[in-house]
Amino acid sequence: ISILRRRVMKDDVFGGYCGCRILDRLRLDGKVAYVTGGGQGIGRAFAHALGEAGAKVAIVDLMLRKAEAVAYELLLKGIKSIAIAADVSKPEDVQRILETIVDRWGTVHIACNNAGVNMNSASEDTSLEEWDKTFSINLRVLFLCCQAAGRIMLNQGYGKIINTASMASLIVPHPQKQLAYNASKAGVVKLTQTLGTEWIDRGVRVNCISPGIVDTALIHSEDLKPLLQRWLTDIPAGKLAQVTDLQAAAVYLASEASDYMTGHNLVIEGGQSLW
């Protein structure tokens, strides 16, 4: 038995060492994270999850009041957290976010680029303004945030970037009218794939999460309300996702447990993209 045990514990056993303490490998102790759009909805849930797994978390949001409220929720749980008011569509704000975090905590290891917007109008009525605003927040921002955070991560040879895409990057959810949204989220996936493959050999992994329809303020806007009932019949799971259904994915992608994963689009949609 002792010979067998020694053989099993050796790292070079065929297939690798499997006494892997998997829950430890999901821990984020000592890591520094930020979450954009962290003031509510999916971003708030990601911030709680990353913090509970051990990370310090900067909550970034357009609305200071919301960011502060979430930072306070985390502090009450004993998680180190700060609130940063910023419009991530502005390059100077993105720079300020990273400077603030580096000043406070020395670096950044986990970038959760989650803020996004959704506007709905028939394709023939989509204005250039709506198109530009959607692409600015959903896609241009990711270029700015990934590049700024990525430079710090490449310098230190380690980083995890998690972008929020959408199931709409894969399918055209019926009967939504979201030309700009769908196209921008497809762009998020391609940006993620490109950076993910370009940077992995320098220690930076870039992945995205594509939620289905999640029960947040975003889908309770006046123009989307009439579609809610229809959506429910389109989801094999028979219900909307809750933000809690997405939290473990963020922790996994932020942790060393997912080190061999990059450029991936992790789809969590109750089976909707398969129908």
Nearest distance, CB of residue 274 and ligand NAD, angstroms: 16
Closer Cβ to ligand NAD, 2 or 229, answer by number:
229
Binding site for ligand NAD (CB under 6 A): 36-37, 39-43, 61-63, 66, 86-89, 114-118, 137, 164, 166, 211, 213-214, 216-219
Residue with tokens 């975003």: 218
Judged by phi (left if over 0) then psi (alpha if -120 to 50, else beta), residue 268 lies in beta
Closer Cβ to ligand NAD, 79 or 213, answer by number:
213
Nearest distance, CB of residue 224 and ligand NAD, angstroms: 9
Nearest distance, CB of residue 99 and ligand NAD, angstroms: 16
Closer Cβ to ligand NAD, 63 or 274, answer by number:
63
Nearest distance, CB of residue 88 and ligand NAD, angstroms: 4
Catalytic residue among 34, 72, 158, 181: 181
Q: Among this protein's residues, is 181 annotated catalytic?
A: yes
Strand partners, 265: 208
What dihedral do alpha carbons 88, 92, 98, 100 form, nearest 10°?
Answer: -110
What's the order of all strands across the beta sheet hosting 159-164? 81-85, 56-61, 32-36, 110-113, 159-164, 204-211, 265-268
If 0-12 CB within 10 Å is exposed, 13-18 middle and 19+ buried, where does residue 138 land?
buried
Q: Which residue is nearest to ligand NAD (CB)?
A: 116
Closer Cβ to ligand NAD, 66 or 160, answer by number:
66
Catalytic (active-site) positions: 181
